[in-house]
Amino acid sequence: MVRDTLKINLNRKLHSLKFLIIAFLLFLLFTNSTEKKPETFAVATRHHIASDIGMGVLRAGGNAVDAAVAVAFALSVVNPSAGNLGGGGFMLIHLAEREETIALDYRERAPKKSSQDMFLNAEGNVIKGLSLNSTLSAGIPGTVAGLFYAIENFGSFEVESLIKPSIKLAREGFVLSNFQSKNINKYKKKFLSNKDAKKIFTRSEGFKENDLLIQEDLANTLERILINGKKEFYSGITSKRIINFYKKNGGIFSQEDFQEYKVKKLRPICGAYRIYKVCSMPPPSSGGIALIQMLNVLENFDISKLEHNSLEYLNILISTMDYAFFDRAKYLGDPEFFEVPQNMLTSKKYALEIFKNIKAKKPAPKANIKFTESEETTHFSIIDKWGNVVSNTYTLNTAYGSGIVPTGTGILMNNEMDDFSLKPGYPNAYGLVGSEANKIEPKKTPLSSMSPIIVFQNNKPLLISGSPGGSTIITTVLQEIINVLDFGMNLEESSKQSRIHYQNLPDIVFHEDLKFEIIEILSKRKKLAKRKLGETHSILLFDKNIEAVSDNRRPDGKASTILQQ
Q: Using CB atoms within 10 A of its CB, is residue 26 exposed (0-12), middle (13-18) or buried (19+)?
A: exposed
Listing from the earlier edge strand, what are the strands of the sheet with 545-550? 269-273, 276-280, 453-457, 460-465, 537-542, 545-550
* Active-site residue identified among 45, 238, 377, 472: 377
Note the helical H segments in 130-236: 130-133, 143-154, 159-172, 178-186, 188-192, 195-201, 216-228, 231-234
Q: Which residues between 404 and 433 bind ligand GLY (CB under 6 A)?
A: 416, 419
The count of residues interacting with ligand GLY (CB under 6 A) is 9
Confirm or reject binding of residue 80 to ligand GLY (CB under 6 A).
no
Among residues 50 and 82, whose Cβ is nearest to ligand GLY? 82
> Closest separation between CB of residue 416 and ligand GLY, Å?
6
Confirm or reject binding of residue 470 to ligand GLY (CB under 6 A).
yes
> Closest separation between CB of residue 463 and ligand GLY, Å?
21
Listing from the earlier edge strand, what are the strands of the sheet with 508-511? 500-501, 508-511, 527-530
Piece of the chain touching ligand GLY by CB under 6 A; list 111-119, 263-271, 355-363, 446-454 = 446-454
Q: What are phi and psi of 356, to 5 degrees?
A: -65, -40
* Of the residues 114, 397, 409, 479, which one makes contact with ligand GLY according to CB under 6 A: 397
Non-local CB neighbours of 23 within 8 Å, separated by 6+ positions: none
Q: What is the DSSP letter of 449?
A: -
Confirm or reject binding of residue 486 to ligand GLY (CB under 6 A).
no
Among residues 114 and 395, whose Cβ is nearest to ligand GLY? 395
Among residues 45 and 397, whose Cβ is nearest to ligand GLY? 397
Confirm or reject binding of residue 448 to ligand GLY (CB under 6 A).
yes
Helix axes 287-298, 472-485, angle to 10 degrees: 40
Confirm or reject binding of residue 449 to ligand GLY (CB under 6 A).
yes
Piece of the chain touching ligand GLY by CB under 6 A; list 56-64, 111-119, 442-450, 453-461 = 442-450
DSSP assignment of 257-292: HHHT---EEEPPEEEEETTEEEEE--TTBSHHHHHH
> Closest separation between CB of residue 478 and ligand GLY, Å?
15
Residue 101 a catalytic site member: no
Q: Which residues between 341 and 380 bind ligand GLY (CB under 6 A)?
A: 377
Nearest to 491 by CA among 457, 518, 467: 467
- Please check whether residue 65 is in contact with residue 47, taking contact to mean a CB–CB distance below 8 angstroms: no
> Closest separation between CB of residue 408 and ligand GLY, Å?
26
> Closest separation between CB of residue 333 and ligand GLY, Å?
13
DSSP assignment of 392-419: EEEE-SSTTTT----TTT-PPPP-GGGG
* Of the residues 79, 101, 280, 395, which one makes contact with ligand GLY according to CB under 6 A: 395
CA distance 220 to 223: 5
> Closest separation between CB of residue 34 and ligand GLY, Å?
46
Among residues 419 and 486, whose Cβ is nearest to ligand GLY? 419
Residue type present at position 460 = K
Confirm or reject binding of residue 387 to ligand GLY (CB under 6 A).
no
> Closest separation between CB of residue 311 and ligand GLY, Å?
30
Among residues 251 and 401, whose Cβ is nearest to ligand GLY? 401
Non-local CB neighbours of 270 within 8 Å, separated by 6+ positions: 101, 277, 278, 279, 280, 292
CA distance 119 to 130: 6
Supply the residues annotated as catalytic. Answer: 377
Contact set with ligand GLY (CB under 6 A): 377, 395, 397, 416, 419, 448-450, 470
